[in-house]
Amino acid sequence: MAINLEDPKKLKPLREQVHQVAMNMLRPISRKYDKAEHEYPTELDMLAAMADGLSESGQGEGAGATGVRRDSKPDDGSVRNGANMSSVLSVNEMCWGDVGLTLAMPRQGLGNSAIASVANDEQHERFDGVWAAMAITEPGTGSDSANIKTTATLDGDHYVLNGEKIFVTSGDRADAVVVWATLDKELGKAAIKSFVVEKGTPGMKVERLEHKLGIKASDTATITFTDCRVPAENLLGSPEVNVKEGFAGAMATFDNTRPLVASMAVGCARAALDYTRDLLEKAGVEIDYDRPAHLQSAAAAKFIQMESDYEGAYLLMLQAAWMADNRQPNSKEASMAKAKAGRMGSDVTLSCVELAGTIGYSEGELLEKWARDSKILDIFEGTQQIQQLIVARRVLGLSSAELK
């Protein structure tokens, strides 16, 4: 099947609008909130209101974290570019502006992606407009989401949660937190479910905010749950434990969010490449795409290599999102996109700092900030190593027990 690599016609206006927002609203305040760590970017409230207006008018439908979902497959056998494609393209442009501010956007948390991915119709409606963080990582579990220790015990019409979550993006600011917990440790990863815990619920406590290398505009929290009672209807999706299904239900969230994180890395890398090309041109370095790289200057050859690396990540991102829109299993492709984009983002942004020399290393420009911000995109939502492990399992047809 031929693939058209141009932006889908119906999504071009949205992408152009988001690019203008990134350039005129995010870039100007990027350094301000990098220096003012943990200070809430109030300018984002107006931006969120604009996004709500676009969604209500239908012009921004499916954009952002809330757009990653598994819609029904077209009955006529056609293909489509739907909510997942809209999401990765819009988030890509936002992160061209600023990754930290994008992650701090109200109602666009990674928890919103989880709700969009696995919630039932009633929950979609009930949690519409809620800003949701996502709490997966725990002390001692790292990238091994299947080893979650936080427990959820059914008690009447509530689940009682006990445990600790760390590195929760927007954990302090969000209206709610999507918490991953196990219903029964003896049943293994099949018993892991996600719960929407609303802010202010007794037993949920934000213990501290982390100081970080990058994405300083986004708050990152440690949260404890002590006999925290959550309504049973806040368990996302089905409460049934299907041992045969294993971790597949929970992994459906990652299959949708990993292309989203890939798009963040791609957007940040594109920002660095755009700026570095301008610097090289001003310095008299000619980048000639019609000549082999080895016949050009070292700086031009390096830039061409970085752009090719970027293109590979961009295409993998598009493929994973397109497959999600067309109801095709994309676990392998989602991990490929995330692995490639995460590593590419770090490599490209740091290389751009190097090519720009003193300009790249100083705080007078944003290149050094993009290098710091991009590193997290190779870590959260599953590290580089975890993504490669998932891809290897899919390629070799081995289970998690067979290939660790």
d(CA 382, CA 293): 34
Q: How many residues does the chain have?
A: 404
Q: Is 134 helix (H, G, I), strand (E, B) or coil?
A: strand
The pLDDT tens digits of the residues spanning 116-128 come to 888 999 999 999 9
Question: Could you tell me the pTM of the whole model?
Answer: 0.93
Contacts of 351 (CB under 8 A, 6+ apart): 302, 306
Q: Beta strand pairing status for 151-155 and 158-169?
A: antiparallel
One CATH from 1.10.540, 3.40.50, 1.20.1550, 1.10.3470 for 9-126: 1.10.540
At 399 the pLDDT is 87
| CATH architecture, domain defined by 132-234 | Beta Barrel (2.40)
Distance in angstroms (rounded) separating the CA atoms of residues 382 and 144: 8
User: Cα(16)–Cα(335) distance, rounded to whole angstroms?
Assistant: 28
CB 228 within 8 A of CB 203: yes
CA distance 258 to 381: 7
Domain segments of the chain as ranges: 9-126, 132-234, 248-396
What CATH code is assigned to 248-396?
Answer: 1.20.140.10
* CA 100 and chain centroid, separation: 11
Left if phi > 0, otherwise alpha if psi is -120 to 50, otherwise beta: which for 239? alpha
- Chain segment 172-207, per-residue pLDDT in tens: 999 999 999 999 988 888 899 999 999 999 999 999
For the residues 82-97, what does the mean pLDDT come to? Answer: 94
pLDDT over threshold 60, residue 1 = no
Contact 263, 95 (CB under 8 A): yes
Beta-strand ranges (E) seen in 157-292 are 158-169, 176-182, 192-198, 204-209, 220-231
- Identify the pLDDT of residue 254: 84
Q: What is residue 71's predicted lDDT score, i.e. its pLDDT?
A: 57
Q: Which residues are the active-site residues? A: 381
Nearest one of 20, 35, 99 to 270, comparing CA atoms: 99
Greater pLDDT, 80 or 149: 149
Q: What per-residue confidence (pLDDT) applies to 69?
A: 60
- Mean of the per-residue pLDDT values for the chain? 90
Q: Residue 349: what residue type?
A: T
CA-CA-CA-CA torsion sign (66, 24, 272, 219): negative
pLDDT in tens, 311-320: 999 999 999 9
Q: Are 193 and 266 a contacting pair, CB within 8 Å?
A: no
Phi, psi of 5 (to 5 degrees): -90, 0
Q: Which residue has the higher pLDDT, 272 or 50?
A: 272
Share of the chain above pLDDT 70, in %: 90
Report how far residue 88's alpha carbon sits from residue 262's, in angstroms, rounded to the nearest whole number. 8
pLDDT at 144 over 80: no
